[in-house]
Amino acid sequence: MSDRQATANAMFDFITESSRARDNEEVLACLGKVAGAFGMDCYAVSGIPLPGERIDPYFMLNAWPEGWFERYVQENYVHVDPVIYRTKMSNEAFVWSEALADKPLSRSAKRVMNEATEFGMLDGYSVPLHSVGGFQAIVTFGARKVELSSEQRGALHIVSIYAHNRLRAFLVDSSERSAAVAAKVTPREREVILWCSAGKTNWEIGQILGISEKTVQHEIAAACRKLNSVNRAQLIAESIRLGIIR
């Protein structure tokens, strides 16, 4: 089998397998398989935070070396990372060593790249994902040495786009499911939950809303069933997560 055919097979295998993925973890496994086929040791999919924001909430998939993600987040390296800067400035996928070879780097940018090597990320391949509305995300692969043919680069670009689309689909599905659950909560149940979050007892809530304590208990029990919660604390937390109360 030719290298070109092997590359195409790896790409189409990823598309086929990830199309059956049921969650992020299964996409992660599929991405790991194709990354390994192209000599990549680690990978991640992430959005890019605004100035002053942390990057960890933006991560969609994380298969970075153990310890590197924690350091990257703790030191807030996203805002001085030359790979990230390049990603925001270009639509083209790139090998780090090639793209940064002629670029003067600041001391903080050099620090990021030097520390990445401590975790085996001596080089990498990054794919910026843009839409008509602007920058969306970055899919990045790391390795001790990057030796990608033009066909492999193209395949990883397609793989990156497909992986990101699958992850976005999960987010949309999750959002729709959450909205459907939240819609089942009645206005009265929402009121009761809100007063629960304020620390009021069942009796106090009854006095505030002009209903009996038994009715308050009934409303709480009904809301717990709908939100799959076993106690007040969990009910309040789920209600906040789903935007039922703020």
Instruction: Assess whether 82 and 127 both reside in one domain.
Output: yes
Query: Could you give the residue ranges of the DSSP H alpha helices within the chain?
Result: 3-19, 24-37, 68-74, 82-89, 96-99, 107-117, 150-184, 187-197, 202-209, 213-226, 232-241
Domain that holds residue 217: 185-241
Instruction: Assess whether 23 and 106 both reside in one domain.
Output: yes
Domain boundary among 152, 178, 204: 178
Q: What is the CATH number of the domain that holds 223?
A: 1.10.10.10
Tens-digit pLDDT profile for residues 143-172: 999 999 999 999 999 899 889 888 887 876
Q: What is the CATH number of the domain that holds 157?
A: 3.30.450.80
Instruction: Assess whether 68 and 122 both reside in one domain.
Output: yes
Instruction: Assess whether 167 and 224 both reside in one domain.
Output: no
Tens-digit pLDDT profile for residues 92-116: 899 999 999 888 999 999 999 999 9
Residue 45 is inside which H or E element, if any? Answer: strand 42-46
Q: Starting at the edge strand that comes first in sequence, how are the strands of the sheet with 94-95 ordered?
A: 59-63, 42-46, 134-143, 123-131, 94-95
